Amino acid sequence: MEPEPGFFRRQSGRLVSALTRIFGVRNVALAEDVTQDALCRALSVWQFSGVPDDPAAWLMAVARNRAIDILRRDRNARRFAPDLGFLLDSEWTLAPTVIDLFEPRAVTDGELRMMFSCSAPGLPEEAQVALILHILCGFSNAEVAGALLSSVAATEKRITRAKKTLASSGRLFELHDDAELQKRLPAVQRALYLLFNEGYHGASPEVSVRVSLCREALHLARMLLEHPACAIPSTRALVAVMSLHAARMPARLDSAGDLVPLRQQDRTLWDAALTAEGITFLDASATGATLSEYHIEAAVAAVHANAKTADETPWAEVVGLYDMLMALRPSPVVALSRAIAIGERDGPEAGLLAVRAIEHDGRLARTPFYEAALGDLELRAGRIEAARRHLEAALERARNPMERRFFEGRLRALVPR
């Protein structure tokens, strides 16, 4: 039996969280060492014996026993987690306490608490995403750097600094304080949303890396739903956005590994089960008085999912949803999506007006998407030379070989000069 893809990294997140609960947030490094040991031991043994029937339980047992050893040997270690100190100080309660903390329910709680701790208000959003990837998703510093397309040195520095902030918080986030939880939850949702987006629209040239970012984000978002206080409508809407977008992934690349735009995707390749899950969560999110940005984004994705062909897309509905999103959470990226939808609804000239009317600080214009949208609209307006200029500009801004090939293909398809 082979462990499922991402098994080791996901277990790494579970073990580090459970061990941090025991050793305290000041000792994340110790939790990481014990985790690394457990994973290495698994690797060594499983190379020979094969993977056991319940590999997760095997790993938990190794980590648990190691934790008990450390606590027995090192008196100081028992005082790391202030709320557990008295339980760990007595031989009668030490082992039972640790064993309880490795029960599946407690481990999931530990992961959730870690997720909330990683989304602390003192941390910039990029640092939150990096920390979640590193601690909860088991990405090495180098892998985080690759996924977020920054240098290894800068990523290492960012993660080290974020861990210091985590350590200074004294203890893991408490889930039972409902007021605090509701206050922090939007930041957690946002970090997971950014993580998913990094996989979906991100710059990493490795398709497998980006797919795993989306998969991990969806996994963590579903985990949020397991906690009653986190299973609120906006969290369901968040899972709906992710599921509906993830459903399209099989159609986003053709057999040559080249990008296929939404309009040209073979919709029969969309993952029907994920689409259905997304629609179910979107329906379930339609309760309560608060409309979140995730509701609206999920609604847009659902409109696309329900259109059998690109031509059947009710663009007026899409524009209406983007209008709502602009009112709720305006951003240049949303404005661009809205302008493209207007171009579909009212024709290319209207679309061009809408794109050019976007107020932005220049960051949008540095992405390939802005120029690509202009190029598409000019092409539909029949102005080939203008389209060429914009597609060439998009090509210059392409962030990886896949995007470059995409724009090169678009340029080749233009009528020759």
Residues 109-138 that bind other proteins (CB under 8 A): 138
Q: What is the signed CA dihedral for 172, 176, 180, 182, rounded to 10 degrees?
A: 120
Q: Does 3 bind other proteins (CB under 8 A)?
A: yes
Contact with other proteins (CB under 8 A) among 141, 197, 234, 313: 141
39 binds other proteins (CB under 8 A): yes
Q: Confirm or reject binding of residue 84 to other proteins (CB under 8 A).
A: no
Stretch touching other proteins by CB under 8 A, among 41-49, 219-227, 278-286, 356-364: 41-49
Helices 178-201 and 104-118 meet at what angle, rounded to 10? 80
Q: Least distance from C-beta 142 to other proteins, angstroms?
A: 7
**Should residue 52 be labelled a site residue for other proteins when binding is judged by CB under 8 A?**
no
Query: Which of 156/271 has CB closer to other proteins?
Result: 156
Determine, following the binding rule CB under 8 A, whether residue 56 of this chain makes contact with other proteins: no
CB 9 within 8 A of CB 138: yes
Is residue 140 near other proteins by the rule CB under 8 A? yes
Piece of 45-53, 283-291, 317-325, 352-360 that binds other proteins (CB under 8 A): 45-53
Q: Tell me, what amino acid is at 383?
A: R
Residue with tokens 């088991």, as numbered in its chain: 138
Q: In angstroms, what CA-CA distances link 24 with 166, 172, 227, 251?
A: 10, 8, 22, 44
- The least distance separating other proteins from the CB of residue 44, rounded to whole angstroms, comes to 4
**Angle 141-148/178-201 helices, nearest 10 degrees?**
70
How many beta carbons lie within 10 A of that of residue 394, not counting itself? 25
> Any contact of residue 315 with other proteins (CB under 8 A)?
no
Minimal distance in Å, beta carbon 203 to other proteins?
Answer: 20
Under rule CB under 8 A, residue 46 binds other proteins: yes
User: Measured on CA atoms in the order 236, 196, 362, 379, is the torsion positive or negative?
Assistant: negative
Binding flag, residue 139, other proteins (CB under 8 A): yes
Among the residue ranges 36-44, 249-257, 261-269, 275-283, the one whose residues contact other proteins (CB under 8 A): 36-44
* Cβ contact 127:158 at 8 Å: yes
Distance CA 360, CA 134 (A): 32
Binding segment toward other proteins, per CB under 8 A, in 30-38, 198-206, 300-308, 343-351: 30-38
Q: Which stretch binds other proteins (CB under 8 A): 40-48, 175-183, 281-289, 315-323?
A: 40-48
Residue among 2 and 91 whose Cβ is closer to other proteins: 2
- Tell me which of 86, 103, 104, 142 binds other proteins, using CB under 8 A: 142
Taking CB under 8 A as the rule, does residue 154 contact other proteins? no
Q: Enumerate binding residues for other proteins (CB under 8 A).
A: 2-3, 5-9, 11-12, 33, 36-37, 39-40, 42-51, 138-143
